[in-house]
Structure 1
Amino acid sequence: MENTIQPIDRVAIDLGVIQVYWYGVIIISGAILALWLAIRESERRDLPKDTFVDLVLFLAPASLIFARLYYVIFKWEYYSENPHEIFAVREGGLAMHGVLTGAVLTIIVFAKVRKISFWKLVDILAPSLILAQAIGRWGNFFNQEAHGGPVSREFLENLYLPDFIINQMYINGTYYHPTFLYESLWNFAGFIVLMFLRRMNLRRGELFLTYIIYYSVGRFFIEGMRTDSLMLTDYLRIAQVVSIALICAAILIIWYRRKKGYANMRYLDVTGG
């Protein structure tokens, strides 16, 4: 039976000259849902209706560029010999930490220009962002990437996974850990946590910083299971190093902002920075 298992076609729509890949469909779908949620919340937080529509016009290309740039830089040995593949985004290869870098830099500039609190913007975005990540991981599923080490079919069946996931994890004659699924579920749970915390009226900035901590904890452990990690050295995975750095930085920022009185505003406060 295993020899007859065929992977799901990565092409969602084939128009002959133009092919639309599932990877792109999933990423865009997650982004649209995230934008819709952010717009709804921004209206409740007394921001102009077009704030996040305008922001995403800059955020989307910047995040895409940084996500790809991050990935290419740390796999330069390969891309230096295959430069024609640098722009082959539909094949995968978008680093989430690159997305975060591009997003934060873009929002800093946008917030200064619009004279809106940076922390207010990222707090509103935090639940949307982790939901988009949860959805986006399914792009890895269709590409059969971001998986873990080899396992048996019995192991996957014992996880009570549906056959379509188990079969898609059968790659070149071997079954693999569906780490894309582990991270997707972790992020979906994080979305629920952040939506709950949003009602708790945390200090401004701390919803976003909680997101950074939560996501980084999950990413650290799940990354350790993957076989396609970007490596800093033969033993150090870049994503794990960055995750630890982000956790420490987020905790330090929370402490510093409270100590200096920069976090006196609350999430539900309408005015102020």
Structure 2
Amino acid sequence: MDQMILANIPSPPQGVWHLGPIPLRAYALCILTGVVVAYFWSRARYAKRGGDPEVVVDALLVAVPAGIIGGRLYHVITDWHRYFGPGKNPMDVFKITNGGLGIWGAIILGTLAVWALFKIKKIPLAPFADAVAPTIILAQAIGRLGNWFNQELYGGPSDAPWALEIYRRVTEAGVESPINGRSTGEVIAVVQPTFLYEIVWNLLICVLLVWADRRFKLSHGRVFALYVAGYTLGRFFIEMLRTDPATMIFGEVRINVVVSAVVFAAAVAVFVAITRKVRRDPDTGLKTE
């Protein structure tokens, strides 16, 4: 039993450090790191597709704030019970650094913002979408490390060697706080690290996208469609392992399970439709490279 415990994955002792009065939150730093990595890789990939890498700067400036707003809106709408009702503080809606960004809302609003930008600039969107697809899912993998520091997004009890230890954390005032506190060393749960499963899955999809793009010379937005399909396929199964509070629909089905299934089906349909159209007419108006 002792050997099994030693093999478990420990959670970080804390997720927030203070530089004087300034809090440094691991969650925010992980997201920022993902954005920076995606930015530089996107420049290189877009340039190879014949695009102006400086356009990536413009896209980043509209996609990041739109993505944060969209991600937060989705989270608040689907997990409204965390912020509204007896004993809840609606102002917590604005505490983004405490966690809670729904990837669906981030992708939707971020994509719409970039689409509008490219419409204004009269630049075809498909080559850009295909260029950034692998970089986005890599950024998601890096950002998921923030959930490890926050001790969140995990599954049920587990005795697997890779199980995650969740510690009791308290603030300097002795108040229990899983996000803002520091570990007391007391293990309160040993669970499935679903955030880690998603990191591994995202990295695999990232490799798949790069390989498929080179092997089949995908274009016309198909790399992006494949990214959405690949991510949602993994998220469908990983979501069913999670035990954190979530909005349920159709009885006891987590809302993100349903959303994953619907978006996966839509992404596959888009990928197939574009592929058929390109095969029928290689010079279709969809072709932008």
Point out the more displaced range, 218-227 or 48-57: 48-57
The structural deviation recorded for 1:264 is 5.3
TM-score normalised by the chain length of structure 2: 0.82
Equivalent positions of 1:27-106 (< 5 A) are 27-80=31-84, 81-106=88-113
2:137 is equivalent to residue 130 of structure 1:
yes
1:231 aligned partner: 247
Say whether the 8 Å CA contact 2:34–2:143 is kept in structure 1: yes
List alignment gaps of at least 5 residues for structure 2.
169-186
How many residues of Structure 1 are paired with residues of Structure 2 in the alignment? 256
The structural deviation recorded for 1:136 is 0.8
1:178 aligned partner: 193
The structural deviation recorded for 1:229 is 5.2
The structural deviation recorded for 1:246 is 1.0
Which residue of the other structure, out of 241, 259, 262, is the alignment partner of 2:258? Answer: 241
CA distance in 2, matches of 1:257, 1:89: 37
1:20 aligned partner: 24
2:211 is equivalent to residue 196 of structure 1:
yes
The structural deviation recorded for 1:49 is 2.5
Point out the more displaced range, 177-186 or 101-110: 101-110
CA distance in 2, matches of 1:212, 1:104: 12
CA distance in 2, matches of 1:6, 1:126: 30
2:123 aligned partner: 116
1:131-155 CA-partner distances (Å, limit 9, x unpaired) = 0011111000000001001123xx2
Say whether the 8 Å CA contact 1:147–1:178 is kept in structure 2: yes
Structure 1 SS opposite 2:109:
helix
CA distance in 2, matches of 1:242, 1:170: 31
The structural deviation recorded for 1:77 is 2.7
CA distance in 2, matches of 1:215, 1:123: 15
CA distance in 1, matches of 2:81, 2:125: 37
More helix, by proportion: 1
Cα pair distance change 1:108/1:82, threshold 3 Å: same
Cα pair distance change 1:133/1:264, threshold 3 Å: farther
1:206 aligned partner: 222
Say whether the 8 Å CA contact 1:66–1:102 is kept in structure 2: yes
Say whether the 8 Å CA contact 1:63–1:99 is kept in structure 2: yes
Q: Which amino acid aligns with 1:122?
A: A
Identity percentage over the alignment? 34
CA distance in 2, matches of 1:236, 1:180: 19
More strand, by proportion: 2
The structural deviation recorded for 1:263 is 8.5
The structural deviation recorded for 1:232 is 3.6
List alignment gaps of at least 5 residues for structure 1.
none
Say whether the 8 Å CA contact 1:23–1:140 is kept in structure 2: yes
